[in-house]
Structure 1
């Protein structure tokens, strides 16, 4: 159902790759709500993904750009304003990648060159996008810029690795730049802390299936899907959230406020029973060997 929440609004959507991507779902929803926008990703991602299909479906165009490259961003944003016929009302940063995760490096054995790439791609690119938008005066007043984070920015979740550091930096950038851009042009900058979602990027994290299952069991509402995250993102792009800025908004079915759910406790207790039984069996075998 469409509410025309973005009728007449223009934007740029970074990071759509395929129909599993949250950014893909956002593009579909933004189109339904009346927005016009440019889709962008790296040239390599464009070759691997299916962005042309999304562009055709949403009546948008694709402009390749490396979000870690300032000159690419300047060209992208200038071209987007020209194609769309004016300044931007919204920007989505849906970008994240860790070479350490891809290479199977653990947090206590990081490659520091890889770490720099993780931070540059997953967080510093957000700063670059905002800074270029500001220098080009590309955003309309009361515009909205959104990026995706995860609860591992505040809590330790083994396997999320140096992406947790990147997400913590991402959230800090939203606060710091949110003050500057909000004061100057009333531009809102927020991050959404989304449930673990089976995207191409998420699937590369060690033990991600187990993480999704644990989160779903712990959350009273269950994990938020990519489609539901897209709905929330559209609300942040709309005029309904004009005074929301510098926030890390939790969209996780209640997971972040939980200690231990009844379902998780039941499984934990069952694992203890198995552990105790195993200990008793080993003790019993030890006694039997002594008597032999």
Structure 2
């Protein structure tokens, strides 16, 4: 049930690829809550995905932008403000890609040129987005920026590869830029650490299906869905969270603070008795 939490607000959703992506679900949730949005993704992603279908559903315009290009992002901020007739209120950063993961380079045998691309696309892009927004004065006071992350930024998950390092950097950028943006414009910047979620990107991680089941059994509330993550993002875009900034917020059913769970112990016990 929608409550019009974002009535009158305007924002940009980065990274919607297809109906499985969290950005896609968040775009729909924002519009259902009364917001007007602009969609953006890299030109290659626009060709591969279904973003034009989402644009029709959301009555939104699509502005191509390579998040590793300052010129593209500067252009995006100006065009988005023109479309919406003024400053924006929120942005979702849902951008990430690892050439090392795609090409099956192990973490210890990483290709460093690929590694730099991972950091550029998956972490530094947040800094660029925030820098372009601040330079253009594109966000209203008490605006909100949310970037999606994962607990591999704090703990070792071997299959997550160099994306773990990128997410750690992403979270650091959110804190550092959040400090400066907060003092300058009262803009808040947070990261949401989501449960493992069945998306095009997530499914590319080695052993994903096994870990999805493991996380479900470890989490007291179970894994959070993409739709539930979208609702959480809406709450962070709303005025009800005005004093929340520079935080890494776990949205994972309790996984992040559970040492071991009864279902996991039972599974191990059964395996040892076979």
Q: TM-score range by the shorter chain?
A: over 0.9
Question: How far apart in 2 are the matches of 1:267 and 1:75?
Answer: 53
Corresponding residue number in structure 2 for 1:224: 224
With structure 1 as the length reference, what TM-score do the two structures score?
Answer: 0.93
Question: How far apart in 2 are the matches of 1:192 and 1:101?
Answer: 22
SS in 2 for 1:91: strand
Q: Does 1:74 align with 2:74?
A: yes
SS in 1 for 2:160: coil
Question: How far apart in 1 are the matches of 2:211 and 2:135?
Answer: 40
Q: Is there any run of 5+ residues in structure 2 with no aligned partner, and where?
A: none
Q: Within 5 A, what are the aligned runs for 1:1-292?
A: 1-274=1-274
With structure 2 as the length reference, what TM-score do the two structures score?
Answer: 0.99
Question: How far apart in 1 are the matches of 2:148 and 2:9?
Answer: 21
Count, aligned residues: 274
Larger radius of gyration: 1
Cα distance, 1:57 vs structure 2: 0.7
Cα distance per residue 1:103-140 (max 9 Å; x no partner): 11111100000000000000000000001100111110
Cα distance per residue 1:239-283 (max 9 Å; x no partner): 000000000000000000111101001111223334xxxxxxxxx
Cα distance per residue 1:41-84 (max 9 Å; x no partner): 11111111111111111110001110010000001110000011
Question: How far apart in 1 are the matches of 2:2 and 2:261?
Answer: 36
Cα distance, 1:2 vs structure 2: 1.3
Deviates more, 1:139-148 or 1:43-52: 43-52
Cα distance, 1:157 vs structure 2: 1.0
Q: Is there any run of 5+ residues in structure 1 with no aligned partner, and where?
A: 275-292
Cα distance, 1:220 vs structure 2: 0.5
Cα distance, 1:149 vs structure 2: 0.6
RMSD: 0.7
